[in-house]
Amino acid sequence: MAKNGKNGPQTESGDDIKKVPFYCYQCVAGPDLAKVTVRNGVAERLEANFDIKEEHPGGGRLCVKAFGLIQKTYNPNRVSQPMKRTNPKKGRDEDPGFVPISWEEAFQIVGEKFREVRAKGLVNENGHPRLASSTGGGGTPVQYMGTFPAFMGAWGPIDQGFGAGQGVKCYHSEHLYGELWHRAFIVAPDTPYVNFILNCGANTEAQSGVVGIWREANARARGAKRIHVEPHMSITAATSAEWVPIKPKTDAAFLFALIHRIIVERGWEEVCDVPFLKHMSNSPYLIGPNGYFMRNPDGQPLIWDAADGRAKPIDAEITDPAMEGTYKVSGYELGPDNHRWEHEDIDVKPSFQLLLEHMAQYTPEWAEAESEVPADTIRRVADEYIAHACVGETIEIEGQTLPFRPVAILLGKSVNNGWGGYHTCWARTMLAVLMGALEVPGGTLGTAVKLVRPAASRVGSVIPGEDGFMRYQFNATSSNAWNREPHIRNAYKTLVPLVSDSPWSAALGPAHLPWLFQKHQPNNWPRHDPPDIWMCYRTNPSISSWNAPEVANRLAEFPFIIAFTYTMDETNHFADVLLPESTDLESTQLIRLGGTKFQENFWHHEGWTIRAKAIDPVGDTMDMSDIITRFAQEAGILDEYIEKINDGAAGSRLAREDKYDYSLPMGEPPVSEQVWDNMCKAVSWDMTQGKEVHDLDWFREHGYMLKDFNQIDWYIHPAMKAKGLRYELPYQERLTRHGRELAVRLSEIGVDWWETQLREYEFMPTYESFPKIWTDYVKDFNREPEEYPFWALTARSFQYAWGANVGLPLINEMAENIAGHKGVVINKGRARELGIEEDDQVVIESVTGRTEGPAVLREGIRPDTVLMIGQFDHWKTPYAKDLNRPSLNSVTDISLKLTDSTGSGSDITCVKIYKASERHLQKPLAVDELGSAKDTGIADISFAQAAE
């Protein structure tokens, strides 16, 4: 027999071999369940945990990133022991002078700082927390941070609003509006049933993980059709039936024209799901002359019942709600700040009539001029969408008959955040509503909730609220309840009513603004000082933020930074203490599994899974939970911390009255294993009502524990029907009222720099030319847009996204098989016009920054667009700093002008490109040439000028 048998793990007698279960949650599509083979203490190989293949909606398999975890563990560039800074001067060009210290010394330094801050008071003179903390995107760090949330809960006020590239840089509008409209923090197609997906830029094949790719491939193989609309041919476009190259940031025009085609040209009564529109949306709500719902004396919105020709409150028996026309009705409108307009026999229209009038202007020809998508294509896409919608069909799911509408629409990053995000989200959700394809089998679904309660159940969050819609807690905008003095630096409660006030809201507020405000004090706004202590965990804002170089400069101003550390990087370069945590295979944690969650994780099961410590830490690192327990001791909040753990802050409650009590005893600092042992017992009791109680050793052996999760709970439609609720579409009365109240509040305190954002609060969104926002931004720097003729965009890399894997050569080797990773992608013909050939080093320059990398010439990209995949431009992270990769984050800017009303911006900017060999002809950056704004850096010129 040939020696090829030596490929896989070999068994030799005397070896100590074990297989240890763990999970990979490097991206939001996790967890992927795995087992690692450990021989004589060395993690040699890992593989999928196929035990779960029947229950797992992705066959139990692993994503490419998971296979890098062993290399990640043994990375020789890891910081292998605590370190402290010896150079008090901070700056990119300053050597921090890190020297190794013992854990004891590290805890003393940190503890002294904690005690100092607690003695001074938890909030500073500006009302902002002295302690701040940032973590990486998508909630993935939570799956590794052990008991850290319990410490944060026990501490008191903490500013978690310093953005690090998540939240506002994510699917921000979708998160907020999606959650408001259909409990969809993330939107996904009902892929096992869908037959037609219209995808505006969502890079599904790069972001939806094992389950997403598994489900989408099955859908393709059975004949589902996907049309992908994006300026470049991403891997998702590549695997779609059709790629429609659209001008960047004009997706709203394209979607508006689809609505026009459906309701105006094809005729809504002919093709739409009329009963759904009449009974499941606010289409028939009557709108008064000031734009608010007409209400009866009880405050109930009114609907015109054409059956007997009179207006009735929404909870009355209504046979035939009128959708079109004008009716004479009496009642009142409720405006901002409880302003009431009383009306007698006044002409009012159903909101659907207003929709028809509003959308009449958005013809396919108009959209073609704006988006450069041919009108014929728009009409065809709309017609295909209609043809696939199966209006009128039903399907049986677990004994219940539900509508069957196998059409879905997805939106991608940069399409659904920043300016235009509201418009695209609204149009997308409206397109689903028109076909009755929202939250029904085959249609457009939400996956998880993060802003409403209860957090663990989408269906459970379908709770009746105002005006026949689901309950939604806007941040108050009334005179007495408005958060006049922002409680954290990004002021989400003050500026963004829609972001609500859940544990996720701080990260989803305008989290880039603290960096800006630290440099430029806005008018009539509380002073903005850096936090006394900033903790960063699994995040690198010096790379992953817009205008990353300037964010790094702001970090240099932070007085004390505690960095939980893997390798040296561009953020912990500014840290005072480096605390190396034990990573994936070296520590233990128990997390939730299954149910429904992003991206396409729709399970028939739910339960818990473990990341069991498989090997001894490679260096002198420490389990995160043990670090945090020591933090609590040093801060003098041990009991509060234990109480938070017992209350469920680390995953699940350890005790429930009259049920079980696995709570940790007060006063005794718990070790990590004890926490998870108790947690294992608590969750297993909870899942089985005490029939099976399993400890940590059991989970170490079995890896996970599941119980059934009903497929009917993938859809909130049944709950909506049962509770008689309607989707809050198309008309945005509540939201607009909050916006107008906010306008009054801000004007009361003299804030005039949020006015553009306030104009975005509209009952139905009006299209504006969104690309112009960025070309106008160029003009603000006294430059002509023609000088920056390219739209610079970014795209997710499946191999790199989220994992903090830029330092892994193995991941790089994988990524390089996919075109575009090595540099900036540019249209081949256009590049050659500029004399640029493959691999030429080129400079990409915006008005505020430059980045460099090799040119990658492709046909699958618009001639006016360039693409930089992932987030690179590293200057400190070992290995990554030598990759010579450009990054969009080096040329984008943080600015109020580029911030929308929800507080998010977008990954797009205008750039020029030239060969690096022509650098000698280079002019100074526009921002540097601009005289008075020379020091703006994170520049918003109008803001900078207003501040002067």
Partner 1 sequence: MSEGSTETQPQSPTEALCHDPNHTPRWGMTIDVNRCVGCQTCTIACKHWNSTLPDIQWRRVIDIEQGEYPNVQRQFLVVGCQHCEEPPCVPVCPTGATKQRADGLVTMDYDVCIGCGYCAVSCPYQARTIAHDIHGYYDGHDLTVQEEAVFDKDRLGVAQKCTFCVDRVDDGLAQGLTPGIDEAATPACSAACIAQAIKFGDYKDPNSEVSKLTNDSQFFQMHEELGTNPQIKYLYTTPAVPGREGETAVVANAVSEEEMADPVNPLVGKRQTFWDWRAAMNWCFGGLASGAAFLAWVLYLAADLPAPALAWFNFGAGALMCVGLFFVFLKIGRKMRFWRAITRFQTSWMTRELYVVPIFGAGVLAGLFTHHAVAFAVAGIAALAFLFCQAMILFKARGIPNWRVPLMPWMIIATGLLEGAGLICAAGAVTIWVILGGEAGNLLLLAATVGGIQWAAAAGIVLALVNAVLWHLYRTTAKSRGIPPLSRNVLNGVSLPLHLIGHVLVILGFAVGLFAPALMGFLVGGLAAIAGGFLWKFTAIVRASYQQGFAMPMVPGRGSGSRAAPPRLEGFAGRPAEMQAAE
* Cβ distance to partner 1 smaller for residue 533 or 831: 831
CA–CA distance, 15 with 188 (Å, rounded to integer): 47
Sites for partner 1 among residues 235-254 (CB under 8 A):
235, 237-245
* Cβ distance to partner 1 smaller for residue 190 or 845: 190
Least separation, in Å, of the C-beta of 276 and partner 1? 18
CA–CA distance, 921 with 845 (Å, rounded to integer): 13
Tell me phi and psi for residue 488, to 5 degrees: -135, 170
Question: Is 843 in contact with 913 (CB distance < 8 Å)?
Answer: yes
Sites for partner 1 among residues 456-485 (CB under 8 A):
none
Question: What are the DSSP calls for 596-628, one per residue?
Answer: EETTTEEEEEEEEEEE---S--SSS-B-HHHHH
738-741 long-range CB contacts below 8 Å, 24 or more apart?
738/474, 738/477, 738/497, 738/498, 739/477, 739/497, 739/901, 740/335, 740/336, 741/336, 741/337, 741/477, 741/478, 741/482
Question: Is 848 in contact with 905 (CB distance < 8 Å)?
Answer: no
x/- letters, 27..66, toward partner 1 (CB under 8 A):
------------x--xxxxxxxxxxxx-x--xx-xxxx--
Residue 3 makes contact with partner 1 by CB under 8 A = yes
* Cβ distance to partner 1 smaller for residue 243 or 534: 243
Least separation, in Å, of the C-beta of 703 and partner 1? 4
Distances (CA, A) of 540 to 536, 551, 590: 8, 10, 25
* Cβ distance to partner 1 smaller for residue 18 or 779: 18
Question: Is 874 in contact with 571 (CB distance < 8 Å)?
Answer: no
* Cβ distance to partner 1 smaller for residue 537 or 715: 715
User: Which of 828, 876, 897, 912 touches partner 1 (CB under 8 A)?
Assistant: 828
Residue 913 makes contact with partner 1 by CB under 8 A = no
CA–CA distance, 204 with 207 (Å, rounded to integer): 5
Query: Binding-site residue total for partner 1 (CB under 8 A)?
Result: 110
* Cβ distance to partner 1 smaller for residue 34 or 253: 34
Residue 364 makes contact with partner 1 by CB under 8 A = no
Q: At what angle do helices 638-646 and 624-635 cross, to 10 degrees?
A: 130
Show the DSSP H helices in 222-374 as ranges. 235-238, 251-260, 268-271, 274-280, 351-359, 364-371
Residue 320 makes contact with partner 1 by CB under 8 A = no
* Cβ distance to partner 1 smaller for residue 879 or 914: 879
* Cβ distance to partner 1 smaller for residue 460 or 809: 809
* Cβ distance to partner 1 smaller for residue 92 or 225: 225
Residue 21 makes contact with partner 1 by CB under 8 A = yes
Q: Which segment (5-13, 148-156, 291-299, 741-749) binds partner 1 by CB under 8 A? A: 5-13
Beta strand residue intervals within 54-157, DSSP E: 83-84, 99-100, 131-135
Sites for partner 1 among residues 855-894 (CB under 8 A):
857-863, 879
Sites for partner 1 among residues 560-579 (CB under 8 A):
none
Least separation, in Å, of the C-beta of 596 and partner 1? 18
User: Which of 92, 118, 225, 484 touches partner 1 (CB under 8 A)?
Assistant: 225
Q: Which segment (205-213, 255-263, 514-522, 897-905) binds partner 1 by CB under 8 A? A: 205-213
* Cβ distance to partner 1 smaller for residue 51 or 929: 51
Residue 14 makes contact with partner 1 by CB under 8 A = no
42-50 long-range CB contacts below 8 Å, 24 or more apart?
42/615, 43/70, 43/73, 43/74, 43/585, 43/614, 43/615, 44/9, 44/70, 45/8, 45/9, 45/70, 46/22, 46/70, 49/21, 49/703, 49/704
Residue 406 makes contact with partner 1 by CB under 8 A = yes
* Cβ distance to partner 1 smaller for residue 357 or 692: 692
2 CB-near residues (< 8 Å, 6+ apart): none
Least separation, in Å, of the C-beta of 174 and partner 1? 22
Question: Is 709 in contact with 601 (CB distance < 8 Å)?
Answer: no
Sites for partner 1 among residues 780-809 (CB under 8 A):
798-799, 808-809
Question: Under DSSP, is residue 388 helix (H, G, I), strand (E, B) or coil?
Answer: helix
Q: Which segment (285-293, 354-362, 534-542, 825-833) binds partner 1 by CB under 8 A? A: 825-833
CA–CA distance, 457 with 463 (Å, rounded to integer): 11
* Cβ distance to partner 1 smaller for residue 154 or 855: 855
Q: Which segment (250-258, 262-270, 537-545, 824-832) binds partner 1 by CB under 8 A? A: 824-832
Whether residue 559 has a cis bond before it, omega within 30° of 0: no
655 CB-near residues (< 8 Å, 6+ apart): 646, 661, 662, 663, 682
User: Which of 92, 220, 266, 915 touches partner 1 (CB under 8 A)?
Assistant: 220
User: Which of 95, 337, 357, 396 touches partner 1 (CB under 8 A)?
Assistant: 396
User: Which of 174, 205, 760, 840 touches partner 1 (CB under 8 A)?
Assistant: 205
Sites for partner 1 among residues 704-743 (CB under 8 A):
704-707
x/- letters, 72..111, toward partner 1 (CB under 8 A):
-xxxxx----------------------------------
Sites for partner 1 among residues 135-194 (CB under 8 A):
193
Least separation, in Å, of the C-beta of 705 and partner 1? 5
CA–CA distance, 311 with 318 (Å, rounded to integer): 9
Sites for partner 1 among residues 602-621 (CB under 8 A):
605
Cβ burial of 661 (10 Å; 0-12, 13-18, 19+) is middle
User: Which of 154, 359, 627, 687 touches partner 1 (CB under 8 A)?
Assistant: 687
